[in-house]
């Protein structure tokens, strides 16, 4: 998927200084509970392992779209057990400012940790409200947060 999009962006892009980042994921819950993903230079998300109560970076190396038309994007896989989560976000989340400067990845993990018992939607709503308040109710960039949480 990313390789095809990469070629299209490279061919159609009229401004060579422009580029696109993207994270692509697919989850088949009924069959294998495997989350397959690839990245085109996008901010790495998190994988939360409930059994270990630990966050792991979803490091998926890949060039931004439109730079190298024949680049092969590697696909990665994570198995989700009950309670495990995949958390994805745009740079608008990491570029939110706190009193000490920009939010760090550890700050985002802390926010998520405060709401582990919530449903995925409740977690997104609570984190959004926290970050909106932190920004004095004025977001200055796109803000996308996606939480995929396996129930059973």
| Higher pLDDT, residue 52 or 32 | 52
Cα diameter, the chain: 48
Q: What is the CATH number of domain 2-149?
A: 3.60.40.10
Q: What value does the mean pLDDT take over residues 25-54?
A: 92
The rounded percent of the chain whose pLDDT value lies above 90 is: 48
Cα–Cα distance, 145 to 152 (Å, whole number): 22
Mean pLDDT for all residues in the chain:
86
Q: What value does the mean pLDDT take over residues 49-59?
A: 96
Phi first, then psi, for residue 109 (nearest 5°) are -60, -40
Q: Which residues have a Cβ under 8 Å from the Cβ of 9 and sit 6 or more positions away? A: 20, 65, 66
Q: Domain segments of the chain: what residues?
A: 2-149
Q: What is the pLDDT of residue 152?
A: 83
| Higher pLDDT, residue 135 or 146 | 146
Q: What is the pLDDT of residue 137?
A: 58
* pLDDT tens per residue across span 64-110: 888 887 889 999 999 999 999 999 988 777 777 666 777 788 988 99
- The predicted model scores a pTM of 0.85
Q: What is the pLDDT of residue 92?
A: 73
């Amino acid at each position: 998927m990313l390789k095809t999009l990469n070629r299209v962006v490279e061919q159609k892009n009229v401004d060579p200084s422009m580029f696109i980042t993207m994270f692509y994921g697919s989850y088949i819950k009924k069959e294998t509970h495997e989350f397959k993903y690839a990245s085109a230079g996008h901010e790495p998300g998190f994988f939360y392992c409930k059994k270990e109560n630990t966050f792991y970076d979803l490091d998926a190396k890949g060039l931004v779209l439109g730079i190298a038309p024949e680049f092969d994007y590697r696909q990665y896989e994570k198995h989700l057990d009950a309670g495990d989560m995949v958390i994805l976000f745009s740079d608008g989340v990491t570029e939110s400012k706190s009193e000490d400067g920009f939010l760090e990845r550890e700050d985002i993990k802390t926010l998520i940790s405060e709401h582990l018992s919530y449903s995925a939607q409740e977690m997104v709503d609570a984190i959004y409200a926290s970050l909106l308040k932190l920004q004095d109710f004025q977001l200055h960039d796109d803000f996308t947060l996606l939480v995929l949480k396996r129930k059973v």
